């Protein structure tokens, strides 16, 4: 039977996924793969951005613990994925984040006080993200991905030389909107770069419980979309993969899986010691994305303790000034009512008037 | 020109597409097939495949990508093939389409028109006959309209195309080809939030919309009643003024809709009348709707959708007080 059918069986499709690492955890760079535009100055700049992102992250976490910020999703450990991809974006590119890409906004130039206004729980913190070519952070998982594909469709429609970079977590790749986005993007060949920030944990569920797929990148293949897996703790590899995808965006989308690790909690509302071991976390510490760049820079005599101290002082000041500004921000509850429709419906106006005349807002 | 609701909507979309080159139509079967009800018929040939887009069969991303297009300045008109399938896009509509303006303090606004056929009475399969207006009307940030005739359908569609807000545009399947009406060939708007008093009367007020407008008109005509008939046209924002004024005028009110009674539009309207005109009523408000159960299979729908008998009995009850 088998022999008879053998001649009828032919391979109709075959695929593989490449893995890219350029800067290893000991600070060694693969010189052949190092992008030409990444000179020393540019690498130092990426390093500084990663350190600033970590400083902001630590500050927000402590503010949350003091009741000065709302529930917060820390980025610590994922700086290379965020800063590397953000630094690869061109001015006219656009990005669509999840709720964790705080670091990307920093690179794109969102004023730091805006970040802290959002961290304090006000809409006004994300009300002007379009000024830095972005949508606001978004909380539901994966639902931002079709927006990114639609924005990319519109960029192509308007014949703009612009790519749209969007992010999703490892858990998010299980959602229907993820698959629908890959399918749409592949079909219409829109200029989309979809970055899977695979930090190994979706709250308490590990990567292996999320999918039987060997890599998350390969999920792109079913939609006819090229993909690559990179060391997400290697800022240079993330930069290169993103830059390559952006320069190819006019031909269609790319999916990049960045393999990184969530060093902290999902958000300030959970306790990771309940579901993962300390030894697992310890094992990721030597792979730290910042540490390896410092090793590289030290070895090339581009960095030293005094420069490090100078940078840390500068970051503290930047962060403290932004926090002070954010904490001085006061909202007007009328803004809630006046930004629902392009006009004020009578029914809503009545509710607002009642709140004001009854002094509900004190 | 005499038009049925399908041709009136097609004409409205054509005029709006001609006027605004950033307007795009997307959905399942909307291009070559012209939509399963032919509402978008002929538009592909006129405006090309970049603007009239046959999408993959995936409702969530039909609305989700439309949201992205709107963020980037296009005017997307996603079609959801049937109201029962629109639930796959519910997360996009509720979590994003409705909220983008408020969560960005109007920095990002989403003018877009989400069209879907609604309501039953045409013996289709399951999930093709729902009346989901409350599910959308409850969500601040969305405009929800439901025309009952070709003239209003065209005027509301033009208003949606000229507006700055996300609109859920509910098109009663049964009314698509039920009757023709004189409809101007040029552009005109039927404003949002303005109900239409389609008949003045003194003895009772009947507030209705969508498929039930025809049913109510038939009953009132056959019984020669002096009834004030209010066709809401827009579910949200509600035209509370016309509702309250009409309730005060006649002192007797019935609200009629095809959707199930419990937690329906009738409940909302009754509550508002109770709050603002209770002492000017001569009788308790009566609501007429479908039973509070899932929409049945097509062979049963005659026992489910409110009919002239049900409306007439309700009127008897109201007038007997």
Q: What are the CA-CA distances from residue A89 to residues A105, A133, B241, B294 (Å)? A: 12, 10, 52, 50
Residues 6+ apart with CB under 8 A from A189: A156, A251, A252, A253
Contact predicate A263/A77, CB 8 Å: yes
| HSE of A160, CA atoms in CB hemisphere, 13 A | 20
Is A37 within the bounds of a domain?
Answer: yes
Cβ contact (<8 Å) for B65 and A176? no
A339 and A212, same domain (yes or no): no
The alpha helices in chain B, defined as continuous H runs, are 5-19, 43-47, 59-71, 90-91, 100-103, 133-137, 150-162, 212-223, 240-250, 265-277, 308-319
pLDDT band at A311 (very low <50, low <70, confident <90, very high): very high
Provide the chain B residues 203-232 that lie in CB contact (below 8 A) with chain A.
none
Closest-CA residue in chain A for B111?
A: A342
Residue B312 three-state SS: helix
Compute the distance between CA of residue B12 and CA of residue A148 in angstroms, rounded to an integer. Answer: 29
In 3D space, the residue among A173, A167, A172 whose CA is nearest the CA of residue A219 turns out to be A173
Chosen from B24, B52, B65, B232 to mutate, greatest number of chain A CBs within 10 A: B65
Q: What is the mean pLDDT of residues A229-239?
A: 98
Cβ contact (<8 Å) for B105 and A152? no
Q: What is the mean pLDDT of residues B123-141?
A: 96
Chosen from A136, A147, A225 to mutate, greatest number of chain B CBs within 10 A: A147
Q: What is the pLDDT of residue B9?
A: 98
DSSP string, B71-106: HTT-EEEEE-S-TTTGGGGHHIIIIIITTHHHHTTT
Task: List beta partners, residue A227.
Answer: A255
Q: Which residues in chain A touch residue B90, judged by CB atoms under 8 angstroms apart?
A: none
Q: What is the pLDDT of residue A284?
A: 98
pLDDT band at A130 (very low <50, low <70, confident <90, very high): confident
DSSP string, A162-209: --EEEEEETGGGGSHHHHHHHHHHHHHT--EEEEEEE-SEETTEEHHH
Domain B196-319 top-level CATH class: alpha beta
Q: What are the CA-CA distances from residue A179 to residues A146, A215, A225, B161, B225 (Å)? A: 10, 15, 11, 30, 57
Is A103 within the bounds of a domain?
Answer: yes
Chosen from A96, A341, A352 to mutate, greatest number of chain B CBs within 10 A: A341
Compute the distance between CA of residue A235 and CA of residue A83 in angstroms, rounded to an integer. Answer: 7
pLDDT higher than 80, residue B13 = yes
This prediction's pTM: 0.97
Look up the ipTM and state it: 0.97
Return the CATH number at A64: 3.40.50.970
Q: Does B143 touch chain A (CB under 8 A)?
A: yes
Q: Does B20 touch chain A (CB under 8 A)?
A: no
Number of domains in chain A: 2
A336 and A325, same domain (yes or no): no
Compute the distance between CA of residue A70 and CA of residue A176 in angstroms, rounded to an integer. Answer: 29
Is A2 within the bounds of a domain?
Answer: no
Compute the distance between CA of residue B274 and CA of residue B286 in angstroms, rounded to an integer. Answer: 12
Contact predicate A250/A244, CB 8 Å: no
Q: Per residue, what are the HEC states of A42-56?
A: HHHHHHHHHHHHHHH
Q: Does B103 touch chain A (CB under 8 A)?
A: yes
Question: Is A102 one of the catalytic residues?
Answer: no
Contact predicate B180/B155, CB 8 Å: no
Q: Which residues in chain A touch residue B109, judged by CB atoms under 8 angstroms apart?
A: 342
Cβ contact (<8 Å) for A347 and B24? no
Q: Which residues in chain A touch residue B102, judged by CB atoms under 8 angstroms apart?
A: 123, 336, 339-340
pLDDT higher than 90, residue B73 = yes
Q: Which residues in chain B touch residue A149, judged by CB atoms under 8 angstroms apart?
A: 61, 64-65, 68
Q: What is the pLDDT of residue A362?
A: 78
Q: What is the mean pLDDT of residues A215-222?
A: 98
Average pLDDT, chain B: 97
Cβ contact (<8 Å) for A157 and B24? yes
DSSP string, B247-302: HHHHS-EEEEEEEESTTSHHHHHHHHHHHHHGGG-SS--EEEEE-SS----GGGGG
A268 and A340, same domain (yes or no): no
User: Which one is catalytic: A100, A108, A207, A262?
Assistant: A262
pLDDT higher than 90, residue B39 = yes
Which of A150, A176, A336 is nearest residue B65 as measured by Cβ atoms? A150
Whole domain around residue A147: which residue ranges?
A: 12-331
pLDDT higher than 80, residue A6 = no
Name the strand (E) or helix (H) holding B112. Answer: strand B112-118
A21 and A97, same domain (yes or no): yes
Q: What is the pLDDT of residue B298?
A: 94
CB-neighbour burial class of residue A256 (10 A; exposed 0-12, middle 13-18, buried 19+): buried
Cβ contact (<8 Å) for B65 and A128? no
Q: What is the pLDDT of residue A361?
A: 86
Q: Which residues in chain B touch residue A148, judged by CB atoms under 8 angstroms apart?
A: 68
pLDDT higher than 70, residue A136 = yes
CB-neighbour burial class of residue B97 (10 A; exposed 0-12, middle 13-18, buried 19+): buried
Cβ contact (<8 Å) for A147 and B61? no
Q: What are phi and psi of B230, to 5 degrees?
A: -110, 120
Q: Which residues in chain B touch residue A145, judged by CB atoms under 8 angstroms apart?
A: 64
Compute the distance between CA of residue A177 and CA of residue A99 in angstroms, rounded to an integer. Answer: 16
Closest-CA residue in chain A for B91?
A: A143
Compute the distance between CA of residue A215 and CA of residue A212 in angstroms, rounded to an integer. Answer: 9
Q: Which residues of B are the active-site residues?
A: 128
Is A181 within the bounds of a domain?
Answer: yes
A265 and A361, same domain (yes or no): no
Is A1 within the bounds of a domain?
Answer: no
Average pLDDT, chain A: 96
Q: Which residues in chain A touch residue B240, judged by CB atoms under 8 angstroms apart?
A: 346-347
Which of A147, A150, A183 is nearest residue B58 as measured by Cβ atoms? A183
Q: What are phi and psi of B308, to 5 degrees?
A: -60, -35
Cβ contact (<8 Å) for B61 and A180? yes
Name the strand (E) or helix (H) holding A348. Answer: helix A346-357
What's the pLDDT tens digit per position in A42-95?
A: 999 999 999 999 999 999 999 999 999 999 999 999 999 999 999 999 999 999
Q: Does B191 touch chain A (CB under 8 A)?
A: no
Compute the distance between CA of residue B56 and CA of residue A145 in angstroms, rounded to an integer. Answer: 16
A348 and A216, same domain (yes or no): no
Which of A138, A140, A181 is nearest residue B61 as measured by Cβ atoms? A181
A320 and A340, same domain (yes or no): no
User: In what order do the strands lie in the sheet containing B253-260?
Assistant: B196-199, B227-231, B204-208, B253-260, B286-290
Q: What is the pLDDT of residue A3?
A: 54
Cβ contact (<8 Å) for A149 and B96? no
What's the pLDDT tens digit per position in B43-60?
A: 999 999 999 999 999 999
What residues does CATH 3.40.50.970 cover in chain B?
A: 2-182
Q: What is the pLDDT of residue A341?
A: 98
A249 and A107, same domain (yes or no): yes
Closest-CA residue in chain B for A159?
A: B50
CB-neighbour burial class of residue A12 (10 A; exposed 0-12, middle 13-18, buried 19+): exposed
A97 and A199, same domain (yes or no): yes
What residues does CATH 3.40.50.920 cover in chain B?
A: 196-319
Please determine, looking at this structure, whether the domain spanning B2-182 carries the CATH number 3.40.50.970: yes
Chosen from A118, A146, A168 to mutate, greatest number of chain B CBs within 10 A: A146
A223 and A341, same domain (yes or no): no
Residues 6+ apart with CB under 8 A from B203: B225, B226, B227, B250, B252, B319
Contact predicate A184/A146, CB 8 Å: yes
pLDDT band at B321 (very low <50, low <70, confident <90, very high): confident
Which of A128, A147, A155 is nearest residue B67 as measured by Cβ atoms? A147
pLDDT higher than 80, residue B297 = yes
A166 and A303, same domain (yes or no): yes
Cβ contact (<8 Å) for B60 and A140? no
CA distance A144 to chain B (A): 8
Q: What is the mean pLDDT of residues A315-340?
A: 96
Calculate ∠ Cα A31-A33-A34, nearest 5°: 65
Is A4 within the bounds of a domain?
Answer: no
A325 and A336, same domain (yes or no): no
């Amino acid at each position: 039977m088998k022999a008879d059918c053998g001649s009828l069986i032919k391979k109709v499709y075959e695929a593989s996924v490449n893995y890219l690492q350029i800067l290893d955890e000991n600070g060694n760079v693969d010189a052949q793969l190092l992008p030409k535009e990444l000179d020393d100055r540019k690498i130092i700049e990426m390093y500084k951005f990663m350190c600033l992102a970590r400083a902001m992250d630590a500050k927000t976490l402590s503010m949350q613990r003091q009741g000065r910020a709302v529930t917060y999703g820390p980025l610590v450990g994922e700086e290379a994925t965020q800063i590397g991809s953000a630094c690869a974006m061109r001015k006219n590119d656009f990005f669509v984040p999840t709720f964790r890409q705080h670091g990307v906004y920093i690179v794109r130039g969102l004023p730091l006080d805006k970040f802290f206004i959002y961290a304090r729980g006000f809409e006004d913190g994300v009300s002007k993200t379009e000024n830095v070519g972005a949508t606001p952070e978004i909380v539901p998982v994966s639902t931002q991905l079709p927006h990114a594909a639609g924005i990319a469709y519109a960029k192509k429609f308007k014949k703009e030389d612009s790519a749209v970079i969007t992010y999703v977590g490892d858990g998010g790749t299980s959602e229907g909107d993820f698959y629908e986005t890959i399918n749409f993007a592949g079909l219409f060949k829109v200029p989309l770069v979809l970055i899977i920030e695979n930090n190994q944990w979706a709250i308490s569920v590990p990567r292996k419980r999320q999918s039987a797929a060997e890599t998350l990148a390969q999920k792109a293949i079913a939609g006819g979309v090229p993909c690559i897996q990179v060391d997400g703790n290697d800022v240079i590899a993330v930069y290169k993969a993103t830059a390559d995808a952006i320069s190819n965006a006019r031909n269609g989308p790319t999916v990049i899986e960045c393999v990184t690790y969530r060093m902290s909690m999902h958000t300030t509302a959970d306790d990771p010691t309940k579901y993962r071991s300390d030894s697992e976390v310890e094992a990721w510490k030597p792979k730290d994305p910042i540490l390896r760049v410092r090793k590289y820079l030290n070895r090339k005599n581009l960095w030293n303790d005094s420069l490090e101290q100078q940078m840390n002082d500068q970051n503290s000041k930047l962060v403290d000034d932004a926090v002070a500004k954010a904490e001085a921000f006061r909202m007007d509850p009328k803004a809630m009512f006046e930004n629902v429709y392009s006009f004020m419906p009578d029914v809503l106006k009545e509710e607002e008037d009642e709140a004001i005349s009854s002094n509900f807002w004190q | 020109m005499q038009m049925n609701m399908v041709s009136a909507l097609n004409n409205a979309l054509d005029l709006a597409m001609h006027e605004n080159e950033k307007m795009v139509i997307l959905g399942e079967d909307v291009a070559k097939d012209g939509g399963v009800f032919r509402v978008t018929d002929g538009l592909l040939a006129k405006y090309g495949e970049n603007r009239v887009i046959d999408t993959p069969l995936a409702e969530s991303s039909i609305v989700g990508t439309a949201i992205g297009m709107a963020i980037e300045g296009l005017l997307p008109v996603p079609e959801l093939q049937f109201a029962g399938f629109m639930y796959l896009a519910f997360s996009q509509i509720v979590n994003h389409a409705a909220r983008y303006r408020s969560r960005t303090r109007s920095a990002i606004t989403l003018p877009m028109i989400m069209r879907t056929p609604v309501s039953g009475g045409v013996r289709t399969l399951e999930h093709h006959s729902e009346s989901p207006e409350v599910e959308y009307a409850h969500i601040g940030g969305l405009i929800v309209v439901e025309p009952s005739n070709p003239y209003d359908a065209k005027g509301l569609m033009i208003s949606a195309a000229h507006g700055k807000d996300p609109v859920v545009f509910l098109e009663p399947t049964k009314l698509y080809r039920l009757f023709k009406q004189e409809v101007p060939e040029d552009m005109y708007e039927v404003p949002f939030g303005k109900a239409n008093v389609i008949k003045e009367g003194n003895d009772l007020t009947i507030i209705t919309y969508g498929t039930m407008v025809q049913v109510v008109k038939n009953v009132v005509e056959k019984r020669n009643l002096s009834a004030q008939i209010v066709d809401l046209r827009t579910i949200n924002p509600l035209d509370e003024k016309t509702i309250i004024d009409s309730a005060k005028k006649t002192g007797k009110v019935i609200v009629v809709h095809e959707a199930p009674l419990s937690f329906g539009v009738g409940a909302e309207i009754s509550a508002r009348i109770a709050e603002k005109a209770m002492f000017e009523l001569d009788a308790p408000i009566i609501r007429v709707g479908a039973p509070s159960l899932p929409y049945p299979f097509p062979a049963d729908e005659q026992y489910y959708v409110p009919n002239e008998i049900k409306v007439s009995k309700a009127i008897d009850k109201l007038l007997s007080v």
